[in-house]
Amino acid sequence: MNDQANPPAAKKLFIKTYGCQMNVYDSQRMAEAMATEGYVLTDDQADADMVLLNTCHIREKAAEKLYSDLGRLKPLKAERPDLKIGVAGCVAQAEGEEIVRRMPLVDLVVGPQTYHRLPAMVRGEAPAILTDFPSEDKFDHLPQNRATRRAPAAFLTVQEGCDKFCAFCVVPYTRGAEVSRPVDRILREARDLVDRGVREITLLGQNVNGWHGAGSDGTWGFGRLIRALAGIEGLDRIRYTTSHPNDMSDDLIAAHRDVPQLMPYLHLPVQSGSDRILKAMNRKHTAAGYLRLIDRIREARPDILLTSDFIVGFPGETDADHRDTMRLVAEVGFGTAFSFKYSPRPGTPAYERPEVDSHVADERLQELQALLTKQQKAAQEGMVGRTLGVLFEKPGRQAGQMIGKSDYLHSVFVDAPRAQVGDLVTVRIVESATNSLHGELAA
């Protein structure tokens, strides 16, 4: 026993994360920032002293979820008026004060570029609504990335914002202009993660392959950053997401050939297979240009698994445009892909354009998803019989079972009673299930 007074009981923070991996990363960093204020994470919203909703604005449905979740918090707030409710992320950025006007139970609104000030906001030492784009770098004001749950795979944000202005997309407005973090900060954060047991890092950015950061000898490109990260001992796997086709530099493609730690997996959104629609979307590339790029990437790394994003029913899309998209998908053969029905977003150039009939868009989406599902199944079945690396991330439901990710990012279930989370093992894939694979430890 020492003579110090007992520390006050920890306050509990519940965070709900919507949307992309960048938000997952931001939620972790906000949790660390709040830890300095004595908050610990809880999985139980009803038990929390503070509820933080880290929101997504990319499609209308994503934004509407915030308001229905806030509505459901009303009874809890009525019961415990001292419960703090905060809204973070891209809806916070886009709607700011409007959120408090619509939902007065909200205490704090914080945008993606200002969350390092969350502790001061909670203490009442900063405004309750902060959605500016400060000139300071929030990462300089945040505690170290502690990968709070000590998972063997971690995210690391290297780039934020977007200057591409695709006609449908809110990101350039909610996340602001492209900013690349400097080399030394990224390497330091990566080393720190590896020292804490992380073996796989996914580099994050809205336009991650457009990263170009300040190094000791001038500006570096993304391929060089990956080579430098591969030099960190103990960092066994590197991934990155999400990328724009026009930023796949020769050096980055060569890194897919040369750097064994760079996993054979690439998410490269194309959105549409029609040149007319690509032009209307302001994508600044053609379908043929994308296909040529895929050829070059596959030349460098023949076994690479490709994934993509698609939008159907973009204003002006005809049946012929949709068939172009179906043809592109058939030609590439994706490992998996996300496909969305176009959602008009206020403030974007496409917002006012006449919409495609909703039923027609639904039908196109179904047709596209059926093909993508078939391709996903084929890609998974193609793994059966192969021997792959699997990084164990958590125990499975059954005794002695582990779940991990393969080199190609498939979830793999393996019977491995003596294995531990964080083991990187060689596994022979024996079976493909709906959304996962089953494997056996290889000798």
Interface characters, 289-328, with ligand 5AD (x: CB under 6 A): --------------------x-x-----------------
DSSP string, 142-204: S-----TT--SEEEEE-EE--S---TT--HHHHT-S-EE--HHHHHHHHHHHHHTT--EEEEE
For residue 178, the minimal CB distance to ligand SF4 (Å) is 9
162 binds, among ligand 5AD, ligand SF4, none (CB under 5 to 8 A by kind): ligand SF4
Consecutive H or E run containing 240: strand 237-241
- Among the listed residues 300, 340, 431, 440, the single contact to ligand 5AD using CB under 6 A: 340
**Among candidates 222, 221, 231, which has minimal Cα distance to 190?**
231
**Among candidates 221, 213, 163, which has minimal Cα distance to 186?**
213
For residue 399, the minimal CB distance to ligand SF4 (Å) is 43
Q: Is 268 in the site for ligand 5AD (CB under 6 A)?
A: no
Binding-site residue numbers for [4Fe-4S] cluster are 20, 56, 90, 162, 166, 169
Q: Is 164 in the site for ligand SF4 (CB under 6 A)?
A: yes
DSSP string, 30-70: HHHHHHTTTEEE-S-GGG-SEEEEEE--SSHHHHHHHHHHH
59 binds, among ligand 5AD, ligand SF4, none (CB under 5 to 8 A by kind): ligand 5AD
For residue 212, the minimal CB distance to ligand SF4 (Å) is 15
**Among candidates 146, 224, 236, 142, which has minimal Cα distance to 192?**
146
Q: How far is CA 38 from CA 10, 11, 50, 210, in A?
A: 6, 6, 12, 37
For residue 221, the minimal CB distance to ligand 5AD (Å) is 23
Q: Which is nearer to ligand SF4, 345 or 405 (CB)?
A: 345
* CA 344/CA 146 separation, integer angstroms: 38
Helix axes 358-381, 319-332, angle to 10 degrees: 10
**Among candidates 370, 280, 281, which has minimal Cα distance to 329?**
370
Binding-site residue numbers are 20, 56, 90, 162, 166, 169
Q: Is 89 in the site for ligand SF4 (CB under 6 A)?
A: no
The angle formed by the CA atoms of residues 157, 159 and 161, to the nearest 5 degrees, is 120
Return the structure tokens found at 228.
């430098």
Q: Is 271 in the site for ligand 5AD (CB under 6 A)?
A: yes
Question: Which residues in the 208-267 window bind ligand SF4 by CB under 6 A?
Answer: 244
CB atoms within 10 A of CB 376: 20
Question: Which residues in the 100-159 window bind ligand SF4 by CB under 6 A?
Answer: none
Minimal CB distance residue for ligand 5AD: 309
Q: Which residues pair with 154 in a beta bridge?
A: 201
* CA 14/CA 85 separation, integer angstroms: 10
Q: Is 176 in the site for ligand SF4 (CB under 6 A)?
A: no
Q: Is 345 in the site for ligand SF4 (CB under 6 A)?
A: no
- Among the listed residues 48, 166, 204, 365, the single contact to ligand SF4 using CB under 6 A: 166
Q: Is 168 in the site for ligand 5AD (CB under 6 A)?
A: yes
* CA 128/CA 141 separation, integer angstroms: 18
Q: Which is nearer to ligand 5AD, 157 or 271 (CB)?
A: 271
List residues near ligand 5AD by CB under 6 A: 58-59, 168-169, 269, 271, 309, 311, 340, 342-343, 345
List residues near ligand SF4 by CB under 6 A: 162, 164-166, 169, 171-172, 206-207, 244
